[in-house]
A and B are shown apart, each in its own frame.
Chain A
Amino acid sequence: MTDVRQVEDYFVGRFAAMGGPCEVLIDADSPYRARHAVEIAEVEARRIERKFSRYLPESVVSRINASNGRLVPVDDETAQLLDYAASCYEMSDGMFDITSGVLRKAWTFDGGGRVPAADAIRDLVARVGWPRVTWKDRELTLPAGMEIDFGGIGKEYAVDRAAAIIGGEISDPCVVNFGGDLFATGPRRGGRAWRIGLEDPDHPGRTSIDRLDVSGGGVATSGDARRYVLHEGKRLGHILNPKTGWPVEDAPRSVTVFAETCSEAGTLSTLAYLRGRGAEAFLRAEGVRFRIV
């Protein structure tokens, strides 16, 4: 059964999906509406996970990755995610690339000091590049040896979807938070903001280093809190530069962005992170609310 409990004057429901803890906060009087909201979120999270997880052999993504160069027709929803990924590639000048996942094969981000051999990285970089994918008319051809994944899009998309479905059924304000990427449907009753803690990158899962007030919209964080390697005294986060195959240099510990949707916030925080030292300048130029640690 979904775990829903009352905390102060609102309800919190928790479940695990998409590789992490998921949480729904509902500012409602009725435990039944709260439970209903949590169940909607859980159903939608599992649906999207099952459909798009690269770890599940029956997912659309696994099917595409196993296509071995053959043409794969896809459904509307997958097409929309691919269109979105294509837009992200274009507007980031190739820094946001859903084919870059193969690079992870070389890296083990366990907090240790193992760095892959240069030729191993070179071989993998040769298997990355969205322009080599043929994507039109709801048909995708992925060259053999390449892979796609919706990391950096899928979870944020699931948050927005779950929040939209809940909002269509329940008018109570709520926050959908899947593994730290979240969306608030509106301010709490009485106009109060939701208080969102910002995780301390040095103590992931334990402490908040800041409190962010959110009255509505999406919030997403990119960072190296849990996954990094140490190399020549530097801490290298798990987000890889698709052009070099190496982790982004001089990247912030974490980038949190506020936007109208969680998908937008997630893409902006990833793009900012990919710019390394330029993250702050980028976000300032974009005119969004953010927090860099």
Chain B
Amino acid sequence: MQLDESRPRSVRSKLRSAACLLLTAAAPRMVQAQDPAPSPTPTNQFDLTGLFYSERIRVLEPTIRYTRISPGGRTFSGQFGFDSITGASPRGSLSSGQVQTVTSASGRRRSIAASELPTTEFSDSRFAVDAEVQQPAGPFSFTLGGHFSHESDYESRGVSGKLTVDLNHKLTALTFGGGYNSDTVSPVDGTATGLAPPGRFTGIVDNPKHVTNMLAGISQVVSRRWLVGVTGSLSTEDGYLTDPYKILSVINRTTGVPISEVSERRPDTRSRKSVQGDSVYHFTSNVLYLSYRRYWDDWGVKSHTVDGRYRIPYDESLFVEPHLRFYTQSAADFYRYGLIQGESLPSYATSDYRMAAFRSVTLGAAIGFKPSRSTSEWTLRAEYIGQFGDKSPPGAVGVQSTLDLFPTINIFSLALNYRFNR
């Protein structure tokens, strides 16, 4: 059991050549992707997420994401999601102060309480598949993606591509991207004729909608602790951009009582632009993420978004991340809380609250937990979103001026993510 002491250093020199053989012989295989055997085993990562949110509608949205990272740097990820949505969505019509009956665009009738804003009961499900491949090549990184989603009245197909170039020893990165979506809107009972009484249809079953977008961005490492970036994007939409289920109330010019309803109608093109600035600052262990986004489109909607997150790691297995966001937007040029009986019809009109001027605040926090001696990770994110609009717009007439025309919208959401490697 004793080594031969008469041969000093013989072990080391032998060992060195053996180790040299071990390491140099094995090393090149990592870069030779064409060498089929043995294939370096890639990392397989799974993300299971359950999102639940509650507004007037309740949505349960489980998704599963699979990511495969090959040792050469190529990443493939695919996501499958299934949403189940039930609830009531505001239809855009006004309340009367009296019990009223509402015909929906699809012709169903029901009664609602007088002071409530009318809503449409609905139940829908949606499934979506996304796939993306990212391939690094020297200072370049190419990303190609595809997307398909289906629900009973909406189908979406899209492709996207992105190129990232690292410059200046990776201190600067430029990103260029583009995408194209071809969607089909097939309203349940038929396509409502815009600004005509609900129940009148155009006869078109499938309405096309196309979206093209482009983006360009630059990110720069300013110091060891600070990274900044600016991204500009441009998107054009054309086709059927109207919400097939939203309607407007036509009200009496003096009493303000809703007399009748018409389906909404929006322009068939939209050009959207945005500029966003991001900053990531690393303190000793905490990280502050800040971003500001300016958005404007040719429908007259302009918005500002300020978003901040602060990540506080407690130890290796736990982090907490508070989140705060402020948003404010102006109304679309053709937003009307209602139409006045007897006035000539505008070309376009909507009462959709998402096209109104409003402000919103998001308060939230995430907690991440990574059990020690495990590759799995849990993240729980809880958020409250409050949307506040003009409850009594200046043009409100008659009874409408006494009613809340923009009830505060409270949305609560809870998302649980479980990630593991296999």
A: residues with CB less than 8 A from B are: 1, 3, 5-7, 9, 14-17, 29-33, 39-40, 42-44, 46-47, 50-51, 75-78, 80-81, 83-84, 87-88, 90-95, 157, 160-161, 164-165, 168, 241, 243-244, 259-261, 263-264, 267-268, 271, 275, 278, 281-282, 285-288
Contact B372 A285 (CB under 8 A): no
Taking a contact as CB atoms closer than 8 A, the residue among B5, B284, B373 that contacts A285 in the complex is B5
Contacts of B15 in A (CB 8 A): 87-88, 91, 264, 267-268
Given contact pairs A6-B224, A33-B170, A264-B15, A76 touches B26 in the complex (Cβ within 8 A)? yes
List the B residue with the shortest CB-CB distance to A165: B30
Report how far A267 CA is from B41 CA in the complex, Å. 26
Taking a contact as CB atoms closer than 8 A, the residue among A16, A43, A87 that contacts B71 in the complex is A43
Contacts of B43 in A (CB 8 A): 42-43, 46-47
Report how far A1 CA is from B311 CA in the complex, Å. 14
Q: What are 27 A-B interface contacts by the 8 Å CB criterion?
A: A1-B419, A3-B316, A3-B370, A6-B282, A17-B375, A29-B171, A31-B227, A47-B40, A47-B42, A47-B43, A50-B41, A51-B38, A75-B38, A77-B26, A81-B22, A84-B19, A95-B1, A160-B19, A164-B23, A168-B31, A261-B23, A263-B23, A264-B12, A285-B8, A286-B8, A286-B11, A286-B12
Contact A164 B27 (CB under 8 A): yes
Interface size class of B (residues with CB under 8 A): 35 or more
Contacts of A168 in B (CB 8 A): 31
Contact B38 A32 (CB under 8 A): no
Report how far A29 CA is from B19 CA in the complex, Å. 33
List the A residue with the shortest CB-CB distance to B377: A1
Encoded as 1 (CB less than 8 Å from any A CB) or 0, chain B from 263 to 285 comes to: 00000000000000000001011
Contacts of B170 in A (CB 8 A): 30, 32-33
B: residues with CB less than 8 A from A are: 1-5, 8-12, 14-16, 18-23, 25-27, 29-31, 37-38, 40-43, 69, 71, 170-171, 221, 223-225, 227, 282, 284-285, 313, 316, 370, 372-375, 377, 419, 421
Distance from A57 Cβ to chain B, minimum over Cβ atoms (Å): 13
Given contact pairs A83-B21, A160-B23, A168-B31, A78 touches B14 in the complex (Cβ within 8 A)? no
Contact A263 B40 (CB under 8 A): no
Distance from A290 Cβ to chain B, minimum over Cβ atoms (Å): 11
List the B residue with the shortest CB-CB distance to A42: B43
Report how far A3 CA is from B221 CA in the complex, Å. 20
Report how far A14 CA is from B317 CA in the complex, Å. 10
Report how far A71 CA is from B372 CA in the complex, Å. 39
Contacts of B374 in A (CB 8 A): 16
Contact B38 A77 (CB under 8 A): yes
Report how far A81 CA is from B8 CA in the complex, Å. 25
Report how far A69 CA is from B136 CA in the complex, Å. 44
List the A residue with the shortest CB-CB distance to B35: A76
Taking a contact as CB atoms closer than 8 A, the residue among B1, B19, B40 that contacts A93 in the complex is B1
Contact B224 A29 (CB under 8 A): yes
Report how far A51 CA is from B372 CA in the complex, Å. 22
Distance from B77 Cβ to chain A, minimum over Cβ atoms (Å): 14
New A-B pairs, 8, CB < 8 Å, besides A14-B316, A271-B11, A286-B12? A32-B170, A47-B43, A84-B22, A161-B27, A268-B15, A278-B2, A285-B5, A288-B12
